[in-house]
Amino acid sequence: MSLENKKIFITSALPYANGSIHIGHMVGYIQADIWSRFLKMHDHDVVFVCASDAHGTPIMLSAEDLGVEPEELAAEYTRQHENDFKDFHVSFDNYHTTHSEENESLVKEIYGKLKDNDCIRTEIIEQAYDDKENMFLPDRYVRGTCPKCNEPDQYGDNCEKCGATYKPTDLIDPISAISGKTPSLKESEHYFMKLTKFNNMLKEWIETIDIHPSVKSKLQEWFDVGLRDWDISRDAPYFGFIIPGEEDKYFYVWLDAPIGYFASLKNLSDKSKLHFEEYFHDDPTTHMVHFIGKDIIYFHALFWPAVLEGAGLKKPDAIYVNGFLTVNGQKMSKSRGTFIKARTYLDHLDPEYLRYYFAYKSSSGIDDFDLDTVDFQNRINADLIGKWINIASRSSKFIRDHFENCLSEDIDDDLLEIFNNEAKIVKGLYQKRELGQSMRKIMLLADKANQYLDQEKPWIMIKDDNEKENVQKVCTNALNMFLKLTIMLKPVMPEVAKNVESFMNLSDLNWSNISDVIKDHKINDYENLLTRIREEDIERIIKK
């Protein structure tokens, strides 16, 4: 699917504003940011947005426990999340919140279109009700045994083991997650989105978009079971947007959350030259991409496109799904010291180490992957410091000490052309989001550069006055190779790349600069670009 001459709208899944972000969350955001940066380096017209998911019962209950208003709690986590993303160099063009005027306006507009197009119905249903707390229980606040596979301690909407979806009233031996009591059943009128009406459209649409085959297979399982109309309302008390014409019924958070993508875009357009309507309506010149975790496929690949179709709006062109992160072979665990908050990591280690490791472990598929802390330390020290940065530190000292930081006029064009050609392969891997293969290819090229230095031995040549010009040429070749590698790594390592640009006395480099050759050029003194990870650095994170 060509992206030439397209306005590309990239979104990342909205983090829930009821807790801190951990490094498992960061997988999808880093993958999306790397791809966004790569496209921008090719001068594509890219807008990359996100927002906090700021509604729902959990936020309301947490706020009650803390004695604050839900808006205040959500706003605080929104600020915290935005700072975490910024410090991990995730370069959103806009970060907003679903608890906003833009989102409320768009939710009501889309809901109105759905009603006008006969996509909404009402039904009196029985719901789990907590008599002790005097409130209807959201799906996730009822737990019990899965009615399909008999796995205990599952949520009231889907089973984490077998993936089945169901109603909370279908659970075996249900209990309220709030009071621990067995809930009663109570009737209430609810609003439903007619998801079943879009069965054929969704099947056909899925075949037209960029989505991994394994995700298609998962979606087919849901089609085989049969889609169900979607309950889009919740009874008071609830933190969210009230349904027009109602007094005590609210839109379910999963209706307004994905609309938050457009709300963030609208917020950006109101303070820039961006034309919101081009992205909001089904404009063939726009390309909408969602990066999500595999736990929210149903919402993004079934419910969300049905809502957009029903409202006559643009549907996603691509949905890229990431797997989950384990740490040292296990689910993240506080007791094992492997439940690592994003901020905890940032307090102790360079964020670009984790960006590189996640890229190295990532593919275009949805496989889970492990952050083995020993492998992490070894990979960073070997690849980034031992291979990539080593090229600059080895060769720059000769240029500084013997040639007043001036590069040679003479270079080996054939040698550098090898790197130019290999960069085309790396580019193709980036385009397909095969980040792990990209990193491996880049490190093979870094090996080639170091082997070249080992072969030429400038530290021996410099002792011979007749060989000094050759030393300048060799080190100039090496620094050109290093610069090409830096451009290839720039989507992953943006801050180090910026420091390399300063060291090499160059302005902002794009992918097109890979074929450039830097010669007869004054560089600056080399300063250490990265330091090795020590065992104690990781031990401090685990201890924290």
Summarize pLDDT for 107-160 with one digit per residue, the tens.
Answer: 999 999 999 999 999 999 999 999 998 899 988 789 999 999 999 999 998 888
Which residue's structure tokens are 């983090």?
A: 15
Single-letter residue type at 255: L
User: What Cα–Cα distance (Å) separates residue 300 from each residue in 304, 306, 320, 341?
Assistant: 5, 9, 10, 26
Which residue stretches of 119-233 are H helix? 199-206, 213-225
Q: What is the pLDDT of residue 457?
A: 96
Single-letter residue type at 319: I
- The structure tokens listed for 458 are 């400038």
Please name every residue paired with 121 in a beta bridge, in sequence order, or none if there are none. Answer: 192
Range 382-515 has CATH code 3.40.50.11290:
no
Contact (CB, 8 A) for 346 and 339: no
Please, is 123 exposed, middle or buried when counting C-beta atoms within 10 Å of its C-beta (0-12, 13-18, 19+)? exposed
- Residues in Cβ contact with 22 at an 8 Å cutoff, skipping those fewer than 6 apart: 332, 339, 340, 341, 342
- Looking at residue 467, what DSSP letter applies? G
Single-letter residue type at 299: F
Q: How many residues does the chain have?
A: 544
Contact (CB, 8 A) for 282 and 314: yes
First to last CA, the chain: 45
Q: What is the pLDDT of residue 114?
A: 98
CATH 1.10.730.10 residue window(s) in the chain: 382-515
Strands 172-176 and 142-145: antiparallel
| Among candidate residues 272, 349, 254, 298, the one with its CA nearest the CA of residue 23 | 349
Q: What is the pLDDT of residue 380?
A: 98
Q: Is 67 left (phi over 0), alpha (psi -120 to 50) or beta?
A: left
Architecture of domain 1-119+194-322: 3-Layer(aba) Sandwich (3.40)
- Residues in Cβ contact with 515 at an 8 Å cutoff, skipping those fewer than 6 apart: 420, 423
Q: What is the pLDDT of residue 93?
A: 98
530: helix, strand or coil: coil
- The structure tokens listed for 195 are 């998801």
Q: What is the pLDDT of residue 283?
A: 87
| Among candidate residues 23, 24, 31, the one with its CA nearest the CA of residue 368 | 24
Q: What is the pLDDT of residue 359?
A: 98
Low-confidence ranges of the chain (pLDDT < 50): none
Q: What is the pLDDT of residue 1?
A: 64
403: helix, strand or coil: helix
Which residue's structure tokens are 């031996």?
A: 173
User: What Cα–Cα distance (Å) separates residue 274 from each residue in 150, 279, 390, 487?
Assistant: 51, 10, 42, 28
Contact (CB, 8 A) for 59 and 74: yes
Contact (CB, 8 A) for 167 and 126: no
CATH 3.40.50.620 residue window(s) in the chain: 1-119+194-322
Q: Give the Cα separation of 204 and 329 in Å (integer).
A: 39
Architecture of domain 120-192: Beta Complex (2.170)
Contact (CB, 8 A) for 442 and 488: yes
pTM value?
0.94
86: helix, strand or coil: helix
| Among candidate residues 402, 408, 398, 394, the one with its CA nearest the CA of residue 476 | 408
Q: Give the Cα separation of 170 and 142 in Å (integer).
A: 11
